[in-house]
Amino acid sequence: MKSTLLFACAVCALLTAVKSGEQDVVVLDDSNFDFRTKEMDTVLIMFYAPWCGHCKRIKPEYEKAAEILKADDPAIPLAKVDCTEAGKGTCSRFGVSGYPTLKIFRNGEFSQEYNGPREHMGIVKYMRGQVGPAAKPIESIEALTKYLDNDDGSVIGYFDSDSSLKSSFEKTADKLRETFRFALVTKEDVIKAKGVASGSIVLHRPTRLVNKFEPADVVYSGEADKSKIESWINEEYHGLVGHRTQDNSKQFPKPLIVAYYSVDYVKNPKGTNYWRNRVLSVAKDFESLNFGVAATDDFQHELNEFGIEFAKGDKPIIAGWNEKSQKFVMSGEFSVEKLREWTHKLVDGVLDPYMKSEPIPEGNSKAVKVAVGKNFQEVVIDNGVDTLIEFYAPWCGHCKKLTPIYEELAEKMKDEKVAIVKMDATANDVPPPFDVRGFPTIYWAPKNAKDKPVKYQGGRELSDFIEYIAQHSTDGLSKSKDEL
């Protein structure tokens, strides 16, 4: 009897806790989203669908985090929007296309995507790091000197009075606080001691990256517009040739040329800059390209994608991407002259791109055509018919389950003006504009619009594929859906 009572009490306590956590999540929809979020300094919002398995898994963790953060001072609210019911318009407005999608808002405005953990203590820690000023207040020249003595660049606002530019700077800092370092100097004597003009935003490059080819400090000269300040920071932060690391590699957009060698600013800064300065002497003449240096050991996986299994010698290996994400590798031993000549050819579009590819299959006569890197143009782009192409991974369980259905579909389409194609995306480079981030990924490429393929989002039964092809085929099918 006693054990039964204790069990009942435990269950009651658990249900109460769950209910409490659920109640701590603010419910938003189309009718209250704008005015409720304007009341919150910082809020994490989960856009979800009730039927979504990933949403169901994160739900209890999200509620536990909400319960903990509600007790903080100041409290950090967590909210949710049901994208299938009363929040459809809001989800559409903020470009929600998958579930769950988590976004951070500040004072009613979208600030940034949530890229943190999905378990409750991880959410708590991440969101606690989002409160408070994103731009660190600095009140003495000594503190400023210490702040600038850092391995990363710093974006500092020097304002001894309020202004629209100061407001835009602070909003930009809020949005980019996870990516860049920001500080704010408001004392007139500190601004004068630093020798900058009040009302300025200055990007200070780290000492280790200062060079003769570009200024150590860059002053923003644009409008009081946070999007323009953000663009300026993204363009200037890493300079002509940035130090590319595993943490910041996504901050280097394409077209991009990277020099891979034994980059080490801790043990060998002089040797590191010896090669970087030679890359800089070339980079200064190619404003349309982005350049970086990277440690070979940290990016061996990337070198493998360029077909380089082992880095020989001490000189840099040069590789990169054009604006179409095609890959290129400079052959032979590094020299400044060779890099300059190779870069000119890259800009002029006369280099042959490197392509990871399996051997072209002999015959390729089965109903499902096999595309590899070297024959993709022939099998998919130039085949003259509508094409359904599956990008798969050999180890993928969903891909294996799809195989017999896909093969049966190909048999039924043999006499139609439709090609059914598959490609192992782990052994071959996937050319743009096809974007593969999971397996299987399926695209429909109309015969007259191969440059604008459409990701297939339909069902994966045979009837689903036939229905889709019948609806979207350029020339129509010779047989009815029932006959197929």
Which helix or strand (DSSP H or E) is residue 61 part of?
A: helix 53-70
Structure tokens at 367: 């109903």
| Phi, psi of 267, deg, nearest 5 | -90, -25
CA dihedral 228, 233, 235, 237 (to 10 degrees): 170
Q: Residue 52 catalytic? A: yes
| Phi, psi of 40, deg, nearest 5 | -110, 125
Q: Which of 71, 44, 64, 47 lies closest to 129 in space, CA to CA?
A: 44
Q: Residue 91 catalytic? A: no
Q: Residue 9 catalytic? A: no
* Catalytic residue selected from 9, 52, 83, 91: 52
If one counts every other C-beta atom within 10 angstroms of the C-beta of residue 382, the result is: 9
Identity at 374, one-letter amino acid code: K
Q: Residue 399 catalytic? A: yes
The string of DSSP letters for 136-183 reads EEE-SHHHHHHHHSSSS-EEEEE-SS--HHHHHHHHHHHHHTTTS-EE
Find the farthest-apart pair of alpha carbons in the chain and give their distance in angstroms, rounded. 88
Position of tokens 């002089």?
Answer: 270
The rounded distance, in Å, linking the Cα atoms of 301 and 294 is 12
Structure tokens at 286: 């190619």
Write out the catalytic residue numbers.
52, 55, 396, 399
